[in-house]
Structure 1
């Protein structure tokens, strides 16, 4: 579960019709600048467009810590080539 904390006091406000007419550019701006936009309806806040939280960077699959001492590069190479061969065989049948 991700919890967002936003300061919307200074967030730009936009009317519903304007937002609807320019939704692609509004979403692009929210995504790039990472600033929420308050959508107003009849002069009152009705919705909030916020940037989606970025996922943490994926870890590399390399052995680390205690496993690094027992990692066998030759077996890794065999595993990698076995996977490549399986993919070639799978796609050759189609």
Structure 2
């Protein structure tokens, strides 16, 4: 935080995480924040620190995932009857 400072968005994210981890509804169903919960606000902070405008968020979120998207698409070509993509964990 010494470089970018403490952002109110972090406080909101930490509060949401604490609320979810201590709420009976989430505990009973074993629901936990996933990687996208954390990557979302980290991406926003990174984009601000790098000087990207907020309009770039979707683009900067999707670009790193393109390899995965393309791998799913490539996998779907092998079986045209596939309705839902279920990764086979094969390296291309």
TM-score with structure 2 setting the length: 0.24
Give the structure with higher Rg (CA): 1
Greater relative contact order (Cα < 8 A, sep 6+): 1
- Structure having the larger proportion of residues in strand: 1
